[in-house]
Amino acid sequence: MQVRQAPELLDVVGRHPSVENLVEIFLTELEVAAKYPLFHELLDPRTAPRAAELLFQSASIMAVREASWKPILHRYAEQGVVRSDLDLAATVRWITYQMFWLVTHPAVLTDDTAELREYVRRYILGGIVA
């Protein structure tokens, strides 16, 4: 499956693999998601659980997520940035889950950008980096 990256992601995805650039990809995708036209509807507590079910139970949506993230993770593994023993499908699911949580709860963890970057680096992506 071929997917088109959001224009905002093209530059950051094309950068040389590094932990910092992986964090940047995650945060840039998070910013893109927050610009989605129905973003504010996702914040409704009645909507978020249904959206999560749709996202994680839809084989076609997860296939798109995998088509987007697996090549990135594979390239980063080849460069020694992420662990080479990762189950890439499970890793994409983990990244997607964390991103969904942050999209639907944008200020619960922190509203400070630098602090969020550190949370992403240390805790969300910390388990997959080499």
Tens-digit pLDDT profile for residues 49-96: 787 888 888 899 899 999 999 999 999 999 999 999 999 999 999 999
As a whole number of angstroms, the distance between CA 48 and CA 100 comes to 9
pTM above 0.75, yes or no: yes
Tokens of 40: 């504010």
Number of domains comprising the chain: 1
72 domain-assigned: yes
53 domain-assigned: yes
- Residue 13 pLDDT class (50, 70, 90 cuts): very high
Question: Which domain does 114 fall in, by range?
Answer: 20-124
**Cross-strand bridge partners of residue 82:** 129
As a whole number of angstroms, the distance between CA 2 and CA 25 comes to 18
70 domain-assigned: yes
- Percent of the chain residues topping a pLDDT of 70: 92
